[in-house]
Structure 1
């Protein structure tokens, strides 16, 4: 079977920044220090009013191409992971193919997935290469979740930021992509959702309600039942990791670095302690970017690589909206 690698990686952050001080000015009961302690985030980037996920994906791809001359002409497939696409149709990936100047022989499609999106994207890219359909795949992740958040939703405002990433998946590179464990539990779909704007509920209602746990839910904005999502994560991540280690014929101590979806510092540190993962092997990069959904893991990979921490066996794991989860192992030089 052909070996498949991450060959290059880069990311883009919008210029506008929302700091904890700005949040505390709007919600006086929350100090900047309290927000930082609770979620491990001091600032997050916000897409501009007219800046879309596709705009950001374009900028991430151009950064990757600038650092890797001649790569653009080699791309023969484009994958875009986003829940913030420009239009109901056509696919934003098709628009990006033209905008980036990629070959018209390049395949392209969007896939709608959130926090596990990068792992799923790696799985699809690997399958396309192993099957002989493609050789050099541009995998893009891009989200503008901050556009979905209600101005009075202080909880989600402290967590989410906007970003885009670009990865080149190829038959050579710095990180060989290993086995996968993927999973889905659609019964939890309403625990992280935007209720209106799609075909099920196309018109905005302006309605809000309070659930039995005291959570405010705005029909037209992002809703997250934090407790339910936390419980889901605690239930699925440990067995997901165990399943991946079994597929790789490894034990936990064989893993050199762990990169989990950067949901918030409290959640992933809880998982680290629950699974008894060595703190020195557990990589966190969210303080200056926040939870960027499908972009958290590739951003962390890029930063770990810059810090010369990306060596040996690196376990990647994503989990969240869907509900969905995925993990893979990359073997780094």
Structure 2
């Protein structure tokens, strides 16, 4: 087995801001109510002609500019998303062409909703550490505004658009992926969904609106119960202690969800990083966005141990403990 590490990161969010004040004009809500219940103040919204593949490409371009990286030797592209431009072809294939990644590179989308980025990281680590691939581009991206019902107060206040990308490359003899954990519980599939060809799951009739539907109460209960257990499993698999974790980056679903997760873990809330305050819930993009925010703000440093944990529709969850080992930056990040 070879070592693997994350060598570069990039991110992108659209320029349009949808603030809580804006939402007051659209649904029966107000800024105080939204902040109190979610911690979200605004979210970024893609243009009508801006799709997930565009968000992905912009995030990778930010990565290349900041770290002086080329994608001409990438041999696999993994895109985690729930909002592909098309059912097929894949977003990964579109990105591969857009960025001039070699035709010999593999390209696939991964569907694990808000856990998708960590699932893709897990896969990239397996590919690189096994020696099957040498340089894997991992992207978490979603354009959730395109499937959000802005007459539904329970979902319209939550979701935004964005993308984050990392490169996973050989780390020599040292593996910077220290341990992980995956899980799923399909018995809760009806709690977060967007209808497709079928109109029921687990015997439950679904609202065939084509929009995102969520039972927030059920997802909250499941996440607060499941994530702390999953984190402990990650640590056990890594042979590590929680006190050794410098930063905890859970999926940025809702601040009121992250708080009790930290409480159950007895982990300092001030060492939890999130991207929801100004970007909203960006599903597969929320964890790489939070990681990159921490890097941009000078909080996250090489050598630190970062525990990533995604959770969402499926119901799926995935965790990964990594020791950060980015290459030196040579350019400034794209401003948000």
Given the two structures, how large is their TM-score scaled by the length of structure 2?
A: 0.89
SS at match of 2:249: strand
Q: Which residue of 1 aligns with 2:198?
A: 200
Q: Which residue of 2 aligns with 1:150?
A: 149
Q: CA deviation at 1:270?
A: 1.6
Matched, 1:190 2:182: no
Distance 1:69 1:250 in 2: 33
Q: CA deviation at 1:71?
A: 1.9
Which one is further off, 65-74 or 141-150?
65-74
Distance 2:58 2:213 in 1: 29
Matched, 1:291 2:281: yes
Matched ranges for 1:76-155 at <5 A: 76-155=75-154
Distance 1:37 1:234 in 2: 18
Q: CA deviation at 1:253?
A: 1.6
SS at match of 1:188: helix
Which one is further off, 85-94 or 255-264?
85-94
Matched ranges for 1:225-304 at <5 A: 225-304=215-294
Deviations 1:67-108 (A, max 9, x none): 233422221111111111122222221122111111111111
Q: Which residue of 1 aligns with 2:202?
A: none
Q: Which residue of 1 aligns with 2:15?
A: 15
Pairs aligned (count): 317
Residues 253/217 of structure 1: CA separation in 2 closer, same or farther (3 Å cut): same
SS at match of 1:80: strand
Deviations 1:142-194 (A, max 9, x none): 11111111121112111110111111111249x92221100011111110001
Q: Where does the alignment leave 5 or more consecutive residues of structure 1 unmatched?
A: 202-210
Distance 1:128 1:329 in 2: 17
Distance 1:118 1:192 in 2: 18
Q: Which residue of 1 aligns with 2:328?
A: none
SS at match of 1:103: coil
Answer whether contact 1:150 1:218 (CA < 8 A) is retained: no
Q: Where does the alignment leave 5 or more consecutive residues of structure 2 unmatched?
A: 200-204, 326-336
Which one is further off, 79-88 or 119-128?
79-88
Q: CA deviation at 1:277?
A: 1.0
Matched ranges for 1:66-81 at <5 A: 66-81=65-80
SS at match of 1:236: helix
Distance 2:262 2:92 in 1: 36
Q: CA deviation at 1:247?
A: 1.1
Given the two structures, how large is their TM-score scaled by the length of structure 1?
A: 0.90
SS at match of 1:169: strand
Residues 91/31 of structure 1: CA separation in 2 closer, same or farther (3 Å cut): closer
Q: Which residue of 2 aligns with 1:205?
A: none
Matched, 1:320 2:315: no
Distance 1:136 1:330 in 2: 17
Which one is further off, 312-321 or 64-73?
64-73
Answer whether contact 2:2 2:171 (CA < 8 A) is retained: no
Distance 1:236 1:26 in 2: 34
CA RMSD of aligned residues (A): 2.0
